[in-house]
Structure 1
């Protein structure tokens, strides 16, 4: 049987499974839904290096959506992401492009959960939850485009116990802002475990094959002390980036927080990303994108659905002909 034939049979079986479950559910549940919205905005002022002449108010991103529970088993969500296009045009901060960030159906039965459609990827969810500050900076994989936080595909998630779960995802591999028309898919296998006490860890392996395989290994761990402070670390290894042999990327991210009160929190984060030196070369193959980042500041949460953070953000490139820059940011997140 061909590879395409196996994938077709897999998707047919998946569809029949959903259809059977739809006819077997009970009618006692009363369906309900609700809209939601989320806004990221900031003011930033450059203070060092190449950033000294930069300052602006910025509406970074807005999310608009609706979620609906059809039954205890079936749930659907649609989420529109409105942000600036990823280009270098001077107008890129003025224009606003809208994408579907999520549009999926979820089926839950006891410890099994299945999502189908434009889904949020679970390898990002845990890190974003512990980092807590997506509104001022993405997690390192998303920040440096080593993966996307959402994609078209199907995810199977199974909870073996309160301490161990695992998930498998089959997806396009192009992210939520691109459509893929070929037969190259990305496959992801991950597991999360919450042992020993106060530790939460996750290991994820992605593979996408097109003549050669591009693979990504992510290892994450976090320690929480009595909800007073937390420290976390993440390591990412990308091999054969862009399906080009021996082009590897290494990334590290460390972050922590300390709760001063219920409303005030100190936080800091350090990122490092680098590439290898190819045979016959003297410099890393993606030197222009290699470097380190530092973020540190204080967060204020006046009520549950509003966060604001005064923070320092610095990027130090490794290329000798590039100048880094430091910014003071005032970031805001509003949930509705």
Structure 2
């Protein structure tokens, strides 16, 4: 029966503050000038909180429509069969694997379904749909841990991820989300190796009316150092620190991100207070490997899962839950500024398995 379980899982010119002599401490004037140049042009956040919750549920269902179609169409055919047998379970195994649930989570779900069938003496395949939803909830519910930024001030969030995962965009959306909660935010353009990233972050700062600490060149850790110093001086609630995109296989570059973490700890022994890893959901099982690699280098404390509205299979969350469980702080299902929202397991499972299809997404 488990034949499918053999399938594959799927340089800086500036000394860093805190890691060198005191004479090499950063000159913050240029960074502060860059921040002052950002004009607060965005509309204040948070006026429609009540309606946003409803619209988010709809956007989530629409965003997951492709995954849901790929999952529920074969499930619908399976659950409409006349009886529960080995052939049905084999086909269910294939469906879960193709939805990016991964080998470990797929086998766990199948084992749970078989135990429930035996214990409750189920004989109708239609009864399995609710059992599957219940077990998915059991698997994903521990990942639902909202980000709490109230324990420290400034609360320092370090954000990492590979190029193309949607990291910088997610920072802009996260800034808007925090503003809607009444928090003041400052952005640190720590991706100094890609000029476009700095300009992109400045654009998000202008859109949200948020100051951005940036430099034309320099060490990422120096920029983050400047940002934390500025946040303290301005009584800012949250610092969102961008870092340069890295592939987990580039060990020397991963070490540079680890250095950013060490410098944060030198200026604030309690920080960073959150280390978010932004993951592109469309990369499937590679997301699991990224979590493991980044966690080893920078001690990941939370995840942001983006691009669930594309060809991504939402089942990758089940794989993460089984192999490298980390709190999923936010998920993204679109390009809009409000399309990044806190992860809620119940909403996610509902959107994944139920609801009207919207294949136009």
Considering the TM-score relative to the shorter chain, is it more than 0.5? no
Q: Return the TM-score normalized by structure 1.
A: 0.28
Q: Return the TM-score normalized by structure 2.
A: 0.26
